[in-house]
Amino acid sequence: MVNHVEIGIIGGSGLYSLLDDADEVEVETPYGPPSDKIALGRIGGRSVAFVPRHGRDHVHPPHRIPYRANLWALRSLGVRQVLAPNAVGSLRPELGPGTLVVPDQLVDRTSGRVQTYYDTGCAVHVSFADPYCPQGRAIAVAKAVEAGWDTVDGGTLVVIEGPRFSTRAESRWFSAAGWSIVGMTGHPEAVLARELALCYTALSLVTDHDAGVEAGEGVTHEEVLAFFAANVERMRTLVGSVAEALPAERDCVCGSALDGVKLPFDLP
């Protein structure tokens, strides 16, 4: 097993490949196979592992993505920092399509998804007050602004179960609560990363206004994919620049998430 990769990237809807010159590996995990083969390559001077969240043919709906396998596989390859681009809907009129939100908070509105590695053997509780890596967030914001993105530093991502989109009433409820964007895949990905003491940074591209924000027929899957596809090269470039800028040595709180915790098994 390769055990030297620095940075993991989990590609969202429309971002099914990232590395132009890559080797592919199959990784076995205690939680089954990841979403797809993992591509190994380099971005600048950094070693990178890329996995398409939904699979290259978009075969995994949000509630069936093998989240535990994906994060475990990345850690087993040596990854300690994860970038997670994803497509989201806006819950605020001022956050229009094309806006890049780098969220600092998360609300879980999913149901039935396994969201922990530690469900047997002993009770393991990790701090999740701040779900995202502060270093990764700061670098992502800086690089996005530098590249000319309409960038929002902070905001709350509410994650719904899917695969359906929100009703207008649900969308208005989320907006009234003060949340910024809505998606289907940011959880349990972020908490699983924390349970493995990984840094995790979300790069959320607004593809549409959610159903309760403006009049119309509501968002469709085809529209989301089409918008993301139109921006995929720009997103690839941004992800690459953020990956290159991530620190070689971590000094954030993410790496100490499991300090003093007795685990029921050894991590890879």
**Which of the residues are catalytic?**
208, 210
Q: Is 109 exposed, middle or buried (0-12, 13-18, 19+ CB in 10 A)?
A: middle
- Coil, helix or strand at residue 194: helix
Residues contacting residue 138 through CB under 8 Å, at least 6 positions apart: none
Q: How far apart are CA 45 and CA 248, in angstroms?
A: 11
Closest CA to 181 of 236, 104, 127, 233: 104
Q: Decide: 131 and 194 in contact? Cβ < 8 Å.
A: yes
Q: How far apart are CA 258 and CA 255, in angstroms?
A: 8
